Amino acid sequence: MKKQKNIIPYEFSGWFTLFLSEDWMVEQEEDLLNVYSKVNPKGVLQFSFYKKSKNNQCKNDELALQHLNNFISQFNIIIDETV
């Protein structure tokens, strides 16, 4: 009989709990969660999430544009707008 691996809960307070096998890894940045296998990793599963405040009643497309502009400025990405 195959031994069952330990299951480890990763709790993200106010959001959700993720239950993963012990051979998986979780790394969390500000608003990005990376999940990948410790054994022979071939990629990563990424979760990006945010909480929209009730006081900030902008439309979803405005919010997405704000998030994109923050990302662009954070990583000093140059956009060629002539294309």
Q: What per-residue confidence (pLDDT) applies to 82?
A: 77
In a domain, 2, yes or no: no
Position of tokens 């990583």?
75
Q: What per-residue confidence (pLDDT) applies to 67?
A: 83
User: What's the angle, vertex CA 63, arms to CA 60 and CA 69, rounded to 5?
Assistant: 140
Q: Are strands 32-37 and 45-48 parallel, antiparallel or unpaired?
A: antiparallel
Position of tokens 């929209």?
52
Q: What per-residue confidence (pLDDT) applies to 17?
A: 85
In a domain, 1, yes or no: no
Q: What per-residue confidence (pLDDT) applies to 57?
A: 63
Q: How many domains does the chain have?
A: 1
User: Domain range holding 50?
Assistant: 7-74
In a domain, 46, yes or no: yes
**How high is the mean pLDDT in each 10-residue block of the chain (83 residues)?**
72 82 85 85 81 67 83 82 73
Amino acid identity, position 58? C
Q: What per-residue confidence (pLDDT) applies to 55?
A: 67
CB 35 within 8 A of CB 20: yes
Q: What per-residue confidence (pLDDT) applies to 58?
A: 66
In a domain, 68, yes or no: yes
CB 20 within 8 A of CB 27: no
